[in-house]
Amino acid sequence: MNLLEINHMKKGFDGLEVLQDISLTVQEGEVVSVIGPSGSGKSTLLRCATMLEKMEDGDLTYLGEKAAWSDGAGSCIYAPKSDLKRIQRHFGLVFQNFNLFPHYSVWKNIIDAPIHVGKVSKEEAQERAAKLLLQLGLEDKKDAYPCQLSGGQQQRVSIARALALQPKILFFDEPTSALDPELTGEVLKVIRQLAQEKMTMIIVTHEMQFARELSDRIIFMEQGRIQQQGTPDEIFASGNGRVREFIGKY
């Protein structure tokens, strides 16, 4: 089944066309990496897909439920708020700079949304949080506050926070770009672990080696378009000069 379907997505910022015509489907269990030069629209794609940004035209569908659709005249209609609220539960997003809630402990960062947004019972939320902390190697950080953690630990907490809502699909926007090089490994390890568990993920990353070994599919973006997509082998052996040049830099 297609968990995510994007058709002809367009987005601009005051005259600048940032996403030109993006179409993309993601199936259950797939790991898709998005690579491409800075400014090519990778973050904007994720922000439109997670509805932090409104696209101008196109269709956005999660698990067959339409979040937004083109009106056929160059505009886009979003579903009513109540529908969007439900559809939003299908996905989670991990930010480059974590955006943890600094006034909440690690534990509260993880259990608060399930209880107050997901309407999960307190016991259930705590059970999930305990499991996630164990799984992500954070069991001794339960009562710490984000400011007391390293960047790598903070990013792992933010992944736990997203997972606690049990999304069907998880987006990552350069999850290791804000980290010191020696801390990227622990975060990549967690993402690898999720891939083994068949979590559906879309990962914007500059970690080429990581994308190559982990992804089912790699998407190369440039100037607001998907220039090429394919298996890691296809992309890394690409005949497209732009792709080769980009990959060659890493």
Partner 1 sequence: MDLFKLIGQLGSGMVISVEIFVLTLLFSLPLGLVISFGRMSKNTLLRSITKVYISLMRGTPLMLQLMVVYFGPYYLFGIKISASYRFTAVIVGFALNYAAYFAEIYRSGIQSMPVGQYEAAKVLGYSRMQTFFKIILPQVVKRILPPVTNEVITLVKDTSLAFVIAVSEMFTTAKAVAAAQTTMVPFIVAAVFYYIFNFAVAAFMEYLEKKLEYYK
Kindly give, in sequence order, each residue whose CB lies less than 8 Å from that of residue 231, ignoring residues fewer than 6 positions away. 216, 217, 218
Q: Which residues make up the interface to partner 1 (CB under 8 A)?
A: 50, 52, 85, 88-89, 91-93, 95, 97, 99-103, 112-113, 116-118, 145-147, 161-162, 165
- Is residue 39 involved in binding ligand ADP (CB under 6 A)? yes
Instruction: Tell me the residue length of the chain.
Output: 250
Give the residue with the Cβ less far from partner 1, 85 or 198. Answer: 85
Q: How far apart are CB 126 and partner 1 at their closest, in Å?
A: 17
* Residues 7-46 contacting Mg ion, CB under 5 A: 43
Residue 162 interaction partner, one of partner 1, Mg ion, ligand ADP, none, beta carbon < 5-8 Å per kind = partner 1
Q: How many CB atoms lie within 10 A of CB 82?
A: 8
Q: Which stretch binds ligand ADP (CB under 6 A): 31-39, 107-115, 148-156, 227-235?
A: 31-39
Distance CA 42, CA 202 (A): 11
Q: How many CB atoms lie within 10 A of CB 111?
A: 24
Q: Which stretch binds ligand ADP (CB under 6 A): 36-44, 130-138, 146-154, 240-248?
A: 36-44
Tokens encoding 28: 């259950």
Give the residue with the Cβ less far from partner 1, 172 or 210. Answer: 172
Q: How far apart are CB 53 and ligand ADP at their closest, in Å?
A: 7
* Residues 43-82 contacting Mg ion, CB under 5 A: 43
DSSP string, 20-64: EEEEEEEETT-EEEEE--TTSSHHHHHHHHTTSS--SEEEEEETT
**Minimal CA–CA distance to 174: which of 193, 194, 155?**
155
C-alpha dihedral sign at 171, 92, 174, 196: negative
Q: How far apart are CB 75 and Mg ion at their closest, in Å?
A: 26
Q: Note the residues at the interface with Mg ion (CB under 5 A).
A: 43
Q: Note the residues at the interface with ligand ADP (CB under 6 A).
A: 13, 18, 36, 38-44
